[in-house]
Amino acid sequence: MQVELVQLAGRDGDTAHNLAAALHAIAGCAAGTRLLVFPETYLTGFPTAENVAALAEPLDGPSLRAVRRSAAERGVAVAIGIAENDNGVFYNTTLLIDGDDTVLTYRKTHLWASDRGVFTPGDRYATALLDGVRVGLLVCFDIEFPESARALGELGAELLIVTNGNMDPYGPTHRTAIMARAMENQAYAVMVNRVGEGDGNLVFAGGSAVVEPGGGLLLEAGREPCRQVIELDMQRLAEARRDYRYLDERRMPLPGQRVEHDSGLRELLIP
């Protein structure tokens, strides 16, 4: 599967600008590209509590309809984020679109500080097949929690897609996290981040990356807008899982014990 990482700058609250950039990227994708991945809430940028009602769109709204049309024209799949309005409840949502069809809809489950008071957290994980590859979605802060990717691993995920809006100084955190999440679940991981400045003096860290099922970096972008194309060799999934399977071999039911030890008492008893 050929994947294209679309690492772009964006404008918070300027859907027209962001949508135009996304449509341009889809229309101009590389020959052979099957899947394009964009940053977190790319279509709308990041809203605030004051403007989210005006900015957020339903999943059948004009921006996503335009993305579906463009994806269908190019015959590609697209993972892209938007501020979602579901009857007055707002979510940080990423969709996996394949032509005219929506394959997956995922609402960010772990809200970063600036998400709180703006979005409602999602309440479920899901995976779906794309060209025979089982795909799961995560959004930004989610990858700092091993349980999020593991939930997708338990649902059979072979490819973790992370739409990212990670800012300075947290770039190294997500670099470490995405490598760990791929290794722990013996799955490919594709993370695409935003670059440039955002509202509130934020500077987005870039560093979009592709990690193979053993946890090794296959591709890592810098801090400038770019388009990176990579072919994922699904045979590496079988190779990574040949000798051991983390999901099969973990021993979670074992009981635990919290031992309280009084170091002061120990010191008194030592001759």
Known catalytic residues are: 40, 108, 140
Give the tokens for residue 112. 């970063």
Q: Give the closest residue to 136 by CA, choosing from 147, 124, 123, 149.
A: 149
146-154 vs 171-185: helix axis angle to the nearest 10?
30
Helix (H) or strand (E) holding 160: strand 159-163
Counting every residue, how long is the chain? 271
Q: How many CB atoms lie within 10 A of CB 89?
A: 11
Q: Which residues contact 182 (CB under 8 A, 6 or more apart)?
A: 160, 188, 189, 211, 212, 213, 214, 215
Give the tokens for residue 66. 């335009």
